[in-house]
């Protein structure tokens, strides 16, 4: 008798441990295609045009500011010695960070077999690519003479010189370029079977031709799938290492230098966590919009949003730890320069930026301990916006607050951004959201093939009992 | 119209379960190789169809290793051998600093081998002439249906037999795909076209890049950096009224560290005495100044056979001549200061120390080129 009760409660416990379903209602494989692929190529709603108008205007504003910068020189920005890195490097680090969430979702969660990732992987991968595009723009114009950017690469030249491979800046060139190319490849590979579905659905001649070429004549043969799955898994494994390395290398740009406040061993993990944190906030914001406007509530469920918000909360706690370590290092090192820099963060000219960072990144996300915030649109968007703002200002604090008080008081300088700086920042947001909007119209926002795998009944029964999904 | 050969016969199934159940039944009796077409990967189908393990892991390992070696080799060769630079006191072959780039290139090589190797080498895509792409069932397969294909090998397929077999195994529908005259010329021609396109694009891109790199940096606004409002020596400049870039010293001012020279004529200069000691350091300084400024006209030995003759009609004096050997140090100093005949003043070019050092060096030349027996070291 006793053993039976134990068994019963054990099964009950097992039931409660089971993950909630990754989609709501009964969706067949065919329905999935209809829901995800039908909006592609149909006439967008008015709201889309309004949004596109706003984002493309912002993008053009940024382009104009960039053209003015290139034609005149970077003296039109507020940067000057000792604050040689300001908005452009802040924006670079910010955008590269946004990208990291996409790779985390698509690669690391694939390896962990977190099935909820399948619904949001495509969208976040696309965001990775667009964010890295926005990021690369900034160092390229920051060099002042962007037409000579090819000097960054090691190529044999008449001058007989090579880049300095011991410099973190050249590591950055390789890391960011590799990251962009690998993300693009990973995204494209996932798209190939979906593009084949689109090819077979599309009626318009030109669109059909474009999709046919892009899917390379994919025909879904079992032999192809076998190689495809293997390759996809291997790339996910490699991309996992890559995503951890990229923001570590970005942090080396700071940590390898001797600037007080930068020269710390906490920087690589601190930057990677911050990147994932900011990226998840951006994905949450974008997913809420996509989910409601494209009526995908049953595919991107509240469960998805809740899991994402839990990741945000975890990252927020890790960031709090990193901030504490920074303070601890300043105190424990007994180095007057580091101490001074840390005090500048919280009591200096830019004290408000320091406290805004702590408020937005550490305090506000703690609201996610409450279920209501994790499940409510207004709540989660408020927190996601706060995190985005906070993470941008975190980079502002790291870069501007550390640099503006140099070792020599005679060189101290108060940095003020110009309108052009703001114009380019707005332009990068414009570019990002313009690309996101275009993507949502011409390509499937949900990886239909990957979703089909996790649909109930999509796989044959295994030997020794049914395998429910 | 001639009889067309049958490429494959497709049986369409409604679910993965039905497909998997049908595979062993067909495999037993089918006359040709089997292939399945599915909207997504099916677990266990590779075993059911008897497919070999994908070799992609080995390919990735090999190419990843090549990427690592190539990256490390490039870094060691460029930074340690071809253009050795010392950075932050590290040795030339500081492999620790080369790890990040090595890692990135390893990942780059490995992922592109996995991605493009899978698509192009193993799956032989892009391929737009495959008979399957003409199938009416393909839109169903990329959506939610599952197809099992009995393909033809050397022997032609028995259409009726295979159709019956597929229907017997539970196929809802059967489609026969016939060969098209375009199928066979697909692959080689495609690769030839692709190869030609790549070569052509490389040539065009290379040519454009060459001209872009050559021309672009000299266009406006790229040359703005060269166009700076500054005064260049020996160049015309309209910033000042007289049109010269270089300025004369302000009247009645003395340069720091210099003493005004008041001796008016060569005769009065006899009284000046050489303040410099005759040490090795001073003579070396004198030789350097002499070779830089004086030897052009007076010759490297001071014998008046200059390195620069044709440009001037004036005959420079030989410093070894008897009258110069006899005059005092002060007179030589005065000529350096004020010039003589065609010789301009070298007041601005040589410092006071250098001038006296040159005088010493001239004396050394005079003695060395008319050396007496006792000057020769025993």
Q: What is the pLDDT of residue A2?
A: 45
Burial class of B211 by CB neighbour count within 10 A (0 to 12, 13 to 18, 19+): exposed
Chain B, nearest residue to A190 by Cα:
B115
Q: What is the pLDDT of residue B154?
A: 65
- If residue B36 lies in a helix (H) or strand (E), which one and from where to where? strand B34-37
When comparing pLDDT for A107 and B66, which is higher? B66
Give strand pairing partners of B17: none
B115–A189: do the CB atoms touch at under 8 Å?
Answer: yes
Q: What is d(CA A267, CA A247) in angstroms, rounded to the nearest whole number?
A: 10
Q: What is the pLDDT of residue A453?
A: 86
Tokens of residue B326, six digits: 């006899």
A222–B42: do the CB atoms touch at under 8 Å?
Answer: yes
Q: Is-contact A286 A296, C-beta < 8 A?
A: no
Which positions 252-271 of A are in contact with B (Cβ < 8 Å)? 252
Q: What is d(CA A89, CA A108) in angstroms, rounded to the nearest whole number?
A: 27
Instruction: Please give the interface size between A and B, counted as residue pairs whose CB atoms are below 8 Å apart.
Output: 224
For chain B, the residue count is: 378
Q: Is-contact B56 B170, C-beta < 8 A?
A: no
The residue-averaged pLDDT of B226-241 equals: 82
> Over pLDDT 70: what percentage of chain B?
94
Q: What is the pLDDT of residue B312?
A: 65
- Using CB atoms, pick whichever of A148, A162, A242 lies closest to residue B79: A162
Per DSSP, the residues of A340-402 read HHHHHHHHSTTHHHHHHHHIIIIIGGGGGGSHHHHH-HHHHHHHHHHHHHHHHHHHHIIIIIH
- Spell out a b/e string for B308-332, using b for 16 or more CB atoms within 10 Å of the CB, else e: eeeeeeeebbbbbeeebeeeebbbb
B40–A186: do the CB atoms touch at under 8 Å?
Answer: no
Which positions 94-123 of A are in contact with B (Cβ < 8 Å)? none
Q: For residue B52, count other CB atoms closer than 10 A to its CB.
A: 8
Looking at the complex, does the CB of residue A220 fall below 8 Å from at least one CB of chain B?
yes
Q: Starting at the earlier edge strand, list the strands of the sheet with B6-13.
A: B34-37, B146-151, B6-13, B173-178
B123–A457: do the CB atoms touch at under 8 Å?
Answer: no
Average pLDDT of chain B?
Answer: 86
Q: Is-contact A41 A202, C-beta < 8 A?
A: yes
Label residue B2 by pLDDT band (50, 70, 90): very low
Q: What is the pLDDT of residue B3?
A: 59
Q: What is d(CA A360, CA A350) in angstroms, rounded to the nearest whole number?
A: 16
Q: What is the pLDDT of residue B185?
A: 54
The gap between the terminal CA atoms of chain B, to the nearest Å, is 116
Q: What is the pLDDT of residue A469?
A: 38
Looking at the complex, does the CB of residue B61 fall below 8 Å from at least one CB of chain A?
no
Q: Is-contact B114 B73, C-beta < 8 A?
A: no
Q: What is d(CA B34, CA A112) in angstroms, rounded to the nearest whole number?
A: 34
Range name among A9-18, B102-111, B138-147, B250-259 with the lowest pLDDT average: A9-18
Distance from CA of B176 to the nearest CA of A (A): 16
For chain A, the residue count is: 469
pLDDT higher than threshold 50 for residue B94? yes
Tokens of residue B154, six digits: 């050397």
When comparing pLDDT for B246 and A167, which is higher? A167
The residue-averaged pLDDT of B129-155 equals: 87
Strand B173-178 relative to strand B34-37: parallel, antiparallel, unpaired? unpaired
Q: What is the pLDDT of residue B310?
A: 57
User: Token pair 């397929």 is at which residue?
Assistant: B157
Residues on chain A touching B36 (C-beta within 8 angstroms): 221-222
Label residue B351 by pLDDT band (50, 70, 90): confident
pTM of the model: 0.80
Which positions 46-85 of A are in contact with B (Cβ < 8 Å)? 70-73
Looking at the complex, does the CB of residue A413 fall below 8 Å from at least one CB of chain B?
no
Range name among A101-110, B204-213, B260-269, B272-281 with the lowest pLDDT average: B260-269
Per DSSP, the residues of B269-282 read GGG----S---HHH
Looking at the complex, does the CB of residue B280 fall below 8 Å from at least one CB of chain A?
no
Q: What is the pLDDT of residue A464?
A: 41
Looking at the complex, does the CB of residue A26 fall below 8 Å from at least one CB of chain B?
no
The gap between the terminal CA atoms of chain A, to the nearest Å, is 32
List the helix and strand counts (H, then E) for chain B. 12, 4
**B176 secondary structure, DSSP code:** E
Tokens of residue A317, six digits: 């706690």
Looking at the complex, does the CB of residue B107 fall below 8 Å from at least one CB of chain A?
yes
**B89 secondary structure, DSSP code:** T
Q: Is-contact A134 A95, C-beta < 8 A?
A: yes
**B373 secondary structure, DSSP code:** G
**B362 secondary structure, DSSP code:** H
Cite the beta strand spans of B318-372 per DSSP E.
none
Range name among A261-270, B10-19, B305-314, B327-336 with the lowest pLDDT average: B305-314
Q: What is the pLDDT of residue B188?
A: 67
Tokens of residue A161, six digits: 């010189």
3-state helix, strand, coil in chain A (%, to 5): 75, 0, 25
- Report the topology of domain B267-375: Cytochrome Bc1 Complex; Chain D, domain 2 (1.10.760)
List the domain boundaries for chain B. Answer: 6-184, 187-223, 267-375
- Report the topology of domain A36-153+164-452: Formate dehydrogenase/DMSO reductase fold (1.20.1630)
Taking chain A (469 residues) in runs of 10, the rounded mean pLDDT of each run is 52 67 76 84 87 96 94 90 92 94 86 85 92 94 88 89 92 95 94 93 90 92 94 94 94 92 92 94 90 84 90 95 94 92 93 96 96 93 96 95 90 94 96 94 90 84 47
pLDDT higher than threshold 50 for residue B1? no
Range name among A201-205, B138-142, B301-305 with the lowest pLDDT average: B301-305
Q: Considering all CA atoms of chain B, what is the largest pairwise distance in Å, rounded to the nearest integer? A: 131
Residues on chain A touching B112 (C-beta within 8 angstroms): 181-182, 185
Give B261's contacts (C-beta < 8 A, 6+ positions apart).
B337, B347
Task: With CA atoms as reference, report the closest residue to B178 among B2, B5, B1.
Answer: B5
Looking at the complex, does the CB of residue A449 fall below 8 Å from at least one CB of chain B?
yes
pLDDT digits (tens, 9 = 90+) for B3-49: 577 888 999 999 899 999 999 988 888 778 899 999 999 988 999 99
Burial class of B297 by CB neighbour count within 10 A (0 to 12, 13 to 18, 19+): buried
Chain A, nearest residue to B74 by Cα:
A154
Per DSSP, the residues of B186-225 read HHHHHHHHHHHHHHHHHHHHHHHHHHHHHHGGGSTTGGGG
Q: What is d(CA B58, CA B63) in angstroms, rounded to the nearest whole number?
A: 9
Range name among A3-7, A325-329, B261-265, B327-331 with the lowest pLDDT average: A3-7
Tokens of residue A55, six digits: 């984002």
Q: Is-contact A287 A120, C-beta < 8 A?
A: yes
- If residue A31 lies in a helix (H) or strand (E), which one and from where to where? helix A29-37
pLDDT higher than threshold 90 for residue B313? no
Label residue B155 by pLDDT band (50, 70, 90): low
Q: What is the pLDDT of residue A14?
A: 66
Task: With CA atoms as reference, report the closest residue to A153 among A164, A143, A145.
Answer: A164
């Amino acid at each position: 008798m006793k053993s039976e009760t134990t068994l019963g409660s054990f099964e009950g416990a097992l039931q409660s441990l089971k993950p909630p379903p990754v989609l709501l209602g009964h969706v067949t494989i065919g329905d999935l295609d209809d829901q995800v692929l039908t909006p592609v190529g149909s006439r967008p709603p008015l709201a889309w045009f309004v949004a596109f108008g706003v984002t493309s205007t912002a993008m053009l504003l940024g382009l104009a500011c960039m053209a003015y910068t290139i034609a005149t020189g970077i003296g039109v920005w507020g940067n000057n010695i000792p604050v040689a890195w300001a908005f452009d490097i802040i924006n670079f680090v910010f955008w590269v960070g946004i990208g990291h969430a996409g790779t985390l979702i698509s690669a690391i969660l694939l390896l962990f077999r977190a099935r909820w990732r399948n619904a949001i992987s495509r969208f976040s991968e696309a965001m990775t690519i667009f964010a890295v595009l926005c990021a690369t723009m900034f160092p390229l114009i920051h060099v002042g003479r962007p037409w000579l950017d090819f000097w960054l690469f090691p190529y044999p030249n008449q001058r007989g010189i090579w880049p300095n491979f011991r410099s973190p800046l050249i590591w950055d060139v390789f890391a960011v370029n590799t990251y962009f190319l690998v993300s693009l490849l990973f995204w494209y590979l996932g798209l190939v079977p979906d593009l084949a579905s689109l090819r077979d659905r599309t009626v318009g001649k030109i669109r059909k031709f474009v999709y046919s070429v892009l899917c390379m004549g994919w025909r879904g043969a079992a032999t192809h799938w076998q190689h495809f799955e293997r390759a996809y898994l291997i790339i996910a494994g490699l991309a996992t290492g890559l995503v951890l390395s990229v923001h570590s290398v970005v942090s080396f740009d700071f940590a390898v230098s001797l600037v007080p406040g930068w020269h710390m061993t906490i920087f690589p993990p601190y930057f990677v966590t911050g990147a994932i944190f900011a990226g998840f906030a951006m994905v949450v914001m974008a997913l809420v919009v996509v989910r409601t406007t494209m009526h995908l509530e049953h595919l991107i469920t509240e469960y998805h949003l809740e899991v994402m918000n839990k990741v945000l909360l975890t990252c927020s706690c890790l960031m709090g730890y990193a901030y504490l370590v920074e303070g601890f290092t300043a105190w424990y090192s007994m180095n007057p320069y580091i101490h001074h820099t840390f005090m500048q963060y919280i009591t200096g000219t830019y004290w408000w930026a320091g406290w805004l960072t702590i408020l937005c990144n550490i305090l506000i996300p703690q609201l996610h301990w409450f279920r209501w915030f994790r499940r409510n649109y207004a709540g989660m968007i408020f927190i996601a916006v706060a995190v985005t703002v906070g993470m941008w200002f975190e980079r502002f604090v790291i870069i501007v607050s550390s640099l503006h008080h140099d070792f020599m008081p005679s060189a101290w300088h108060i940095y003020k951004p110009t309108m052009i700086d703001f114009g380019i920042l707005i332009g990068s947001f414009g570019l990002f959201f313009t690309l996101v909007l275009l993507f949502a119209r011409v390509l499937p926002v949900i990886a239909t093939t990957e979703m089909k795998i996790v649909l109930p009944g999509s796989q044959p029964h295994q030997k020794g009992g049914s395998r429910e999904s | 119209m001639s009889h067309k050969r049958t490429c494959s016969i497709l049986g369409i199934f409604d679910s993965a379960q039905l497909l998997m159940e049908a595979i062993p039944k067909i495999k037993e009796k089918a006359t040709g190789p089997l292939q399945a077409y599915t909207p997504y990967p099916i677990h266990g189908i590779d075993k059911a169809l008897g497919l070999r393990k994908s070799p992609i892991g080995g390919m990735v390992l090999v190419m990843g290793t090549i990427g690592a070696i190539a990256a490390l080799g490039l870094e060691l060769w460029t930074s340690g051998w071809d253009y050795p630079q010392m950075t932050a006191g590290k040795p030339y072959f500081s492999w620790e600093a080369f790890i990040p780039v090595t890692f990135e290139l390893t990942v780059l090589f490995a992922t592109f081998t996995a991605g493009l190797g899978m698509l192009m080498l193993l799956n032989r895509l892009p391929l737009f002439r495959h008979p399957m792409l003409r199938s009416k069932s393909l839109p169903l397969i990329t959506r939610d249906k599952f197809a099992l294909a009995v393909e033809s090998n050397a022997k032609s397929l028995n259409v009726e037999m295979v159709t019956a077999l597929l229907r017997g195994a539970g196929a809802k529908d059967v489609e026969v795909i016939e060969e098209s005259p375009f199928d066979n010329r697909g692959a080689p021609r495609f690769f030839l076209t692709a190869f030609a396109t790549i070569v052509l694009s490389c040539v065009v891109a290379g040519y454009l890049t060459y001209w872009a790199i050559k021309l672009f940096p000299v266009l406006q606004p790229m040359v703005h950096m060269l166009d700076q409002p500054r005064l260049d020596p020996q160049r015309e400049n309209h910033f000042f009224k007289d049109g010269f870039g270089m300025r004369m010293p302000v009247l009645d001012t003395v340069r720091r560290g210099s003493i005004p020279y008041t001796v008016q004529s060569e005769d009065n200069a006899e009284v000046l005495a050489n303040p410099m000691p005759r040490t090795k350091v001073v003579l070396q300084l004198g030789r350097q100044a002499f070779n830089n400024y004086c030897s052009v006209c007076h010759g490297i030995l001071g014998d008046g056979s200059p390195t620069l003759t044709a440009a001037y009609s004036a005959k420079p004096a030989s410093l070894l001549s008897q009258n110069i050997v006899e005059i005092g140090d002060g007179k030589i100093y005065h000529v350096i200061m004020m010039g003589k005949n065609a010789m301009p003043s070298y007041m601005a070019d040589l410092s006071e120390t250098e001038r006296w050092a040159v005088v010493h060096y001239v004396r050394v030349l005079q003695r060395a080129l008319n050396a007496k027996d006792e000057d020769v070291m025993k």
